[in-house]
């Protein structure tokens, strides 16, 4: 739809001049959500709330007191709390849970006059790479409805790609913002761990989770990062780090910028068309004056194993609270406490979540802790050191985001190991806690989007975004 097919900055002037009103934009988004409802991008939509909010924001614009995101219609992943509305995490065990408070990132969006239109679909408890594990049904890719959108923030990525919203928030534990962004042809940013408050995000793996934006452009992502970043005393992992204006250096030249391209990310398993798109993108950056060199991140091959030990261990601990006792789903016909726990969790959780809880409980159990969990923590340190060594010489690291374009729905559901390999290029950034960005860099012969990943030093999102902007401009 012409009204909402550009990014926020593309129509901001029209909003502030009165050529387009915020209610008109909101109505256009609601119409698009209805027209594309078969994609199943949303779990909950708030038409009355959104239109009421849109009118209030429109009045603030006319009075000259509007916030930085005035008129931006956004969706938020359904593991982020919005007071008075359901937060399901895509799970039966929380399908009637009503949030009693706003997540910090949600509050910051509202303070800057964004219009939240609904909660986007996701893999159950953010555990998945294809958005096929949601209790509320699988999400489909906007570019081909027979293919996956990526996960676990597939609903957010699809909503942005299909013009249902201007931007969305997702969470990224092992690539859950960047991988769906790549497969849906949008921009996805995982900030440095600690840059954005996790307060009000339902935890999957607390040392890996990070909230970030999905958008139609680098500039929109930078603006959203401006708003959601910053120290929060409610989050013990939030870092007291200055928040720069992430939009100010976007047009700065990349001439002389040193880019490392790790050979481990361009080997076996990488689709030839994805490789070609990445190589073409690197040539464009070289044409802009960047210096591209091959590097090595030697412990990359151990990342998948380490991640699926650490993430499942933390998941088993975080999900212990869903027991049918205090809130969420409770099974009927129970006779004692043990039955309540067993039946409620067995019926409330899906197969993938139960698989990860069992794996996590196993690696933390007596006799196996040292062999698995402790060893995985040591490998995590080695992976982090690989990046630290690389960043002594290079400003950013460029890799593919995903080894393939979007695969068919159901194609990997019976093979969890193949599904886990979908995250092979993204999980290292979470293990190391660094910033990562995915942006579209081409399409394959079937017209499916290809994403390129730009990794940066901790708290140096400005350089990551500047590199992304240079490529976005060159591709246009």
Tens of pLDDT along 390-411?
999 999 999 999 999 999 999 9
Tens digits of residue pLDDT in 423-440: 999 999 999 999 999 999
- Contact (CB, 8 A) for 437 and 188: yes
- Contact (CB, 8 A) for 437 and 369: no
Which of 13-22, 197-206, 321-330, 434-443 has the lowest average pLDDT? 321-330
Radius of gyration of the chain (CA): 21
Tens digits of residue pLDDT in 142-179: 999 999 999 999 999 999 999 999 999 999 999 999 99
User: How would you class 191 by CB atoms within 10 Å of its CB: exposed for 0-12, middle for 13-18, buried for 19 or more?
Assistant: buried
- Confirm whether 139 is domain-assigned: yes
Cis ω before 152 (30° cut-off from 0)? yes
Cα→Cα distances 364→316, 345, 357, 361, 461, Å: 9, 20, 11, 5, 34
- Confirm whether 221 is domain-assigned: yes
Task: Tell me if residue 216 falls in helix, strand or coil.
Answer: coil
- Confirm whether 97 is domain-assigned: yes
- Confirm whether 295 is domain-assigned: no
What percent of the chain stands above pLDDT 90?
93
Please state, in angstroms and rounded to a whole number, the distance separating the CA atoms of residues 63 and 18.
12
- Confirm whether 241 is domain-assigned: no
Q: Dihedral sign, CA of 217, 110, 192, 361? A: negative
How many CB atoms are closer than 10 A to CB 465?
27
What six digits make up the tokens of 199? 């307060």
In this predicted structure, what is the pLDDT of residue 417? Answer: 83
Which DSSP letter does residue 201 get? B
Maximum pairwise Cα distance, the chain? 71
Residue found under tokens 């593991």: 79
Tens digits of residue pLDDT in 370-393: 999 999 999 999 999 999 999 999
What six digits make up the tokens of 67? 């916030």
In this predicted structure, what is the pLDDT of residue 318? Answer: 96
Please state, in angstroms and rounded to a whole number, the distance separating the CA atoms of residues 450 and 182.
6
In this predicted structure, what is the pLDDT of residue 418? Answer: 87
End-to-end CA distance of the chain: give it in Å, rounded. Answer: 20
pLDDT of residue 1 exceeding 50? no
Which residues make Cβ contacts (< 8 Å) with residue 95, sequence separation at least 6?
86, 88, 135, 136, 329
What percent of the chain stands above pLDDT 70?
99
pLDDT of residue 3 exceeding 80? no
Which residues make Cβ contacts (< 8 Å) with residue 402, sequence separation at least 6?
150, 179, 182, 183, 274, 422, 425, 426, 451
- Contact (CB, 8 A) for 184 and 147: no
In this predicted structure, what is the pLDDT of residue 2? Answer: 55
Question: What is the extent of the structural domain holding 132?
Answer: 8-228
Which residues make Cβ contacts (< 8 Å) with residue 119, sequence separation at least 6?
42, 43, 44, 75, 76, 77, 78, 80, 82, 85, 86, 87, 88
The C-alpha angle 274, 280, 286, rounded to 5 degrees, equals: 140
Phi, psi of 69 (to 5 degrees): -110, 20
- Confirm whether 253 is domain-assigned: no
The overall average pLDDT reported for the chain is 96
Please state, in angstroms and rounded to a whole number, the distance separating the CA atoms of residues 230 and 196.
6
Q: How many domains does the chain have?
A: 1
Which helix (DSSP H) or strand (DSSP E) does residue 151 occupy?
A: none
Tens digits of residue pLDDT in 40-97: 999 999 999 999 999 999 999 999 999 999 999 999 999 999 999 999 999 999 999 9
Report the relative pairing of strands 258-262 and 396-400 from DSSP bridges. parallel
- Confirm whether 170 is domain-assigned: yes
Q: Which residues are catalytic?
A: 77, 152, 176
Give me the CATH number covering residue 218. Answer: 3.90.1300.10
- Confirm whether 263 is domain-assigned: no
State the DSSP string of 367-424: TTIIIIIIHHHHHHHHHHHHHHHHHTT-SEEEEESSSSSPPBTTSSTT-HHHHHGGGT
Which residues make Cβ contacts (< 8 Å) with residue 170, sequence separation at least 6?
77, 120, 122, 152, 153, 156, 157, 176, 177, 180, 188, 211, 212, 213, 214
């Amino acid at each position: 739809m012409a009204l909402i097919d550009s990014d926020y900055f593309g129509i901001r002037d029209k909003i502030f001049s009165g050529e387009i009103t915020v209610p008109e934009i909101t109505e256009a988004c609601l119409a698009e959500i209805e027209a594309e409802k078969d994609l199943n991008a949303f779990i909950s939509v708030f038409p009355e709330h959104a239109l009421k909010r849109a009118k209030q924001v429109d009045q603030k614009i006319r009075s000259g007191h509007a916030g930085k995101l005035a008129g931006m219609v956004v969706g938020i992943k359904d593991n982020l709390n919005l007071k008075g509305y359901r937060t399901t995490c895509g799970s039966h065990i929380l399908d009637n849970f009503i949030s009693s408070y706003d997540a910090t990132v949600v509050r910051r969006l509202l303070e800057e006059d964004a219009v939240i239109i609904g909660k986007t679909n996701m893999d159950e408890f953010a555990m998945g790479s294809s958005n096929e594990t949601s209790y509320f049904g699988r999400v489909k890719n906007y570019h081909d409805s027979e293919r996956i959108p990526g996960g676990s923030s597939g609903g957010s990525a699809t909503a942005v790609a299909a013009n249902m919203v201007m931007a969305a928030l997702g969470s990224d534990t092992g690539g859950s913002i960047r991988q769906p962004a790549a497969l849906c042809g949008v921009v996805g940013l995982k900030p440095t761990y600690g840059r954005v408050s996790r307060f009000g995000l339902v935890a999957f793996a607390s040392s890996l989770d990070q909230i970030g934006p999905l958008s139609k452009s680098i500039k929109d992502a930078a603006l959203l990062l401006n708003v959601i970043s910053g120290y929060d005393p409610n989050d013990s992992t939030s870092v007291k780090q200055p928040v720069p204006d992430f939009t100010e250096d976007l047009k700065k030249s990349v001439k002389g910028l040193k880019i490392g391209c790790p050979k481990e990310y361009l080997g076996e398993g990488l689709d030839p068309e994805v490789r070609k798109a990445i190589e073409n993108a690197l040539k464009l950056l070289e044409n802009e004056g960047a210096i591209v060199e091959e590097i090595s991140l030697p412990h990359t091959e151990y990342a998948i194993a380490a991640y699926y030990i650490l993430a499942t261990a933390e998941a088993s601990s975080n999900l212990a609270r869903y027991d049918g006792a205090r809130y969420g789903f409770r099974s009927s016909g129970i006779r004692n406490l043990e039955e309540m726990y067993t039946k409620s969790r067995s019926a409330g959780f899906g197969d993938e979540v139960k698989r990860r809880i069992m794996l996590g409980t196993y690696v933390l159990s007596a006799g196996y802790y040292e062999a698995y969990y402790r060893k995985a923590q040591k490998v995590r340190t080695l992976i982090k050191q690989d990046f630290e060594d690389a960043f002594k010489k290079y400003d950013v690291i460029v890799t593919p985001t995903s080894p393939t374009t979007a695969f068919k729905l159901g194609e990997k559901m019976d093979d969890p190991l193949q599904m886990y390999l979908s995250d092979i290029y993204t999980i290292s950034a979470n293990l190391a806690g660094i910033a990562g960005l995915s942006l579209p860099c081409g399409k394959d012969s079937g017209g499916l989007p290809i994403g390129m990943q730009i990794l940066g030093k901790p708290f140096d999102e400005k350089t990551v975004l500047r590199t992304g902007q240079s490529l976005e401009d060159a591709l246009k």
